[in-house]
Chains A and B, each alone.
Chain A
Amino acid sequence: MVVQLSGVERSDQAVAGLDRPVRGLWSDAWRRLRKNRAAVVGLAYIGFMLVLAIFAPLLAPYDPNNIPSDAFSNTPPFWMDGGSWQYPLGTDSLARDNLSRFLYGARVSMIVGIVPTVITVLIGATYGIVSGWLGGRWDNILMRLVDVVYAFPSLLLFIIMQASLRDTGFGRLLGGLMLLFVAFAITGWNGMARLVRGQTLSLRKKEFIEAARAVGNTPSRIMLRHVLPNSLAPIIVSVSFSIPAYILAEASLSFLGIGIRPPNASWGSMVFQAFPLITFMPIFVIMPSLLIALIMIAFAFVGDGLRDALDPQSDRQR
């Protein structure tokens, strides 16, 4: 996989003898991750939610945004008095099926976690790698910009952006998702840029980079083939923490009523919608809140597990 690793592997093999299979960095990390019970549970839960999100249109018994003419609003879930299997998790205040809305809400959570993360990794990693590679004055200037963006209070920016732009044409794109992507990406890239820059700075002094340069590789090839793959482990750990951060940001904004646009459902907006009923029907607030809590915990378990697996030296200090 990575140039300098093959040498390590071979010496490893020589020490351990031929009966021991060759294990690379990634299979080693995967083995450690599998041993971490909390991480496995978290991974399974995230996988389950991902399946629900992908197949939401097939699984949902009703159109999540359709207001039926024959249903009652605020029907309780099936295990409570007055509930029925016709609407297993009840209906919301506009008589829409809760189960279907939860399924589509899972979709929103997954998309809103993944898309901005992909954008921030692309922008941040490019920025960081270029800044670290150039070094010196250019690095200084580029990092100053990162500092300024970093100091910008992101929740305030999200709130102002959402409140200002959600009723414009751009804010209406993809039911408001596009604006969320942009808001999260604008503030999110600088963390990744710092991380990758730090990696690049320490890697560019290493012998194998020197060797790659001596052999006549172009800088862009070295960055792509050598620096980036060797920064992958910390990038993955950072991604495992940024996905839930965006999921939470969307949920918070939607809870404030300025996230996803109605009639689309997200877990946060379902809390927002059911919140006035908290004294009469707390279950409608509890269900989406619980979904938000569970996905956050699942990601935290996986994130901690990944950090331990990819960085054995960290030794659970934090």
Chain B
Amino acid sequence: MVRYLINRVLWTIPVLWLVATVTFFLMHTAPGGPWDARSGAAGRSLDPSLEASFNRQYGLDEPLIVQYFTYLKNAATLNFGDSFVQQGQSVIEVIGNGFPYSARIGVLALLMALGIGIPVGILAAVKHNTMTDYASLFVTTISYTLPDFVIAIFLLIVFSVHLDLVPILFTDWRSYILPAFALGTGSAAFIARLTRSSVLEAMRHDHVVTARAKGLSSRAVISRHVVRNGMIPVITIIGPAFAGLVTGTIIIERVFGIPGMGRLFIDSISTRDYPVIMGVTLFYSFFIILGNLMVDVAYVFADPRIRDSQG
């Protein structure tokens, strides 16, 4: 098991390298450069001598392939360079400014998804094949299917534009509520379905039959014997769900005008802020890969059978 995990961790290196390589060459094929935005009036280009000096200062005058290897060498020592656009800030500082917003929304969305998804799933399983079950299946199918930015837009129109309950612009803590809901709805539906099916399966186990036979109330059977086992698959998806939610804010942030990672990413691409593009992409990728890796680790911790069998 340990060997397997080490193997999986080592696999992130070639993946991150591929991500870095593809991103590096793609972003350099984009027309325009990082100094266009600073030239003032749109469309007018920078004074050539100034541009050349900027390029020299940031190493952009060297052949692309040299820049590429320089970047890889620096990145390997966790030196991701400085932002071209936000003067005097390193890429790590820039990410450090944006990430907390995304993380807060991601955590809230995850809490909401668990808080709604698990009870709904347990209820649907306990009331298997009743109207409650069918209704929850229908609602979860639709909630899982609706694109989060569409949910976001409808929430924004209802709660900000019509009811005026939440400020439309990003201001204070209230501004986190709608994004978290928009982002968490799909995950809540997914968790509800997962909980439902795994609880249903857990209810068929022999020990549950025994517990029932010895006269435990059905409430005690459910809470002590069924739900515990039924939660294993849910626990395992928390990691990737969190990674997905934090990185999934790219589009949501646009709807609600949140200055998080997503906006940073889109902005850095449009201003050709190469170091920030690379940094954010690698950061996101690392997050997603880590999330996937956590599935395996979580399984090992959650299920003693796996822990013991593969030691």
Contacts and interface: CB of A to CB of B under 8 A. Distances in A.
A152 B292 CA distance: 12
Nearest to A300: B145
A318 B270 contact: no
Contact of A164 (B26, B147, B149, B292): B26
Interface in A253-276: 255-256, 271, 275
A240 interface: no
B11 interface: yes
Q: Which of B147, B265, B266 has the most CB of A within 10 A?
A: B147
B197 A255 contact: no
B27 A164 contact: yes
Contacts of B285: 151-153, 156
Given A160-B23, A300-B141, A168 B11 contact: no
A174 interface: no
B27 A278 contact: no
A152 B26 contact: no
B254 interface: yes
Interface stretch (B79-87, B110-118, B150-158): B150-158
Interface stretch (B12-20, B67-75, B98-106, B170-178): B12-20
A278 B193 contact: no
B146 A255 contact: no
A151 B15 contact: yes
A316 B137 CA distance: 10
Nearest to A280: B161
Interface stretch (A23-31, A220-228, A291-299): A291-299
Interface in A284-318: 285-286, 289, 292-293, 296-297, 299-301, 304, 316-318
Contacts of A297: 141-142, 145-146
Contacts of B297: none
A195 interface: no
Contact of B11 (A147, A164, A275, A293): A147
Contacts of A3: none
B289 interface: yes
A73 B142 CA distance: 34
Contacts of B288: 151, 153
Interface in B19-73: 19, 22-23, 26-27, 29-31
Contacts of B254: 255-256
A167 B30 CA distance: 7
Contacts of B18: 148, 152
B140 to A, nearest CB: 10
B157 A278 contact: yes
B150 A293 contact: yes
Contacts of A148: 14-15, 18
Contacts of B222: none
Contacts of B22: 152, 157, 160
Interface string B282-311: 001100110010000000000000000000
Given A168-B29, A292-B147, A296-B145, A160 B281 contact: yes
Identify whether the interface residues of B are mostly helix, strand, loop, or mixed: helix
A236 to B, nearest CB: 19
B108 interface: no
Contacts of A255: 149, 251, 254
B27 A318 contact: no
A304 B141 contact: yes
A168 B247 CA distance: 28
A151 B292 contact: yes
Contacts of B200: 317
A271 B150 CA distance: 9
Contact of A163 (B142, B144, B201, B269): B269
B250 interface: yes
Interface in A237-263: 244, 248, 251-252, 255-256
A163 B266 CA distance: 9
Nearest to A303: B145
A159 interface: yes
Nearest to A286: B157
A155 B254 CA distance: 15
Given A168-B29, A256-B266, A160 B145 contact: no
A73 B96 CA distance: 42
Nearest to B198: A317
A157 B25 CA distance: 12
A156 B277 contact: no
Nearest to B157: A282
B153 A289 contact: yes
B8 to A, nearest CB: 10
Contacts of A296: 145-147
A120 B137 CA distance: 30
Given A152-B285, A163-B269, A282 B161 contact: yes
B221 interface: no
Contacts of B146: 293, 296-297
A71 interface: no
A279 interface: yes
A161 interface: yes
A165 interface: yes
A252 B147 contact: yes
B168 interface: yes
- Per CB-CB distance, the 3 closest pairs between chain A and chain B, nearest first, are A164-B30, A300-B145, A163-B269
Given A151-B292, A160-B269, 14 more contacts: A148-B15, A151-B288, A152-B285, A156-B247, A156-B281, A159-B265, A164-B27, A165-B30, A168-B30, A255-B251, A256-B251, A256-B254, A286-B154, A318-B193
12 contacts: A148-B14, A152-B18, A152-B285, A160-B281, A161-B26, A163-B270, A164-B26, A165-B29, A278-B153, A278-B156, A278-B157, A297-B145
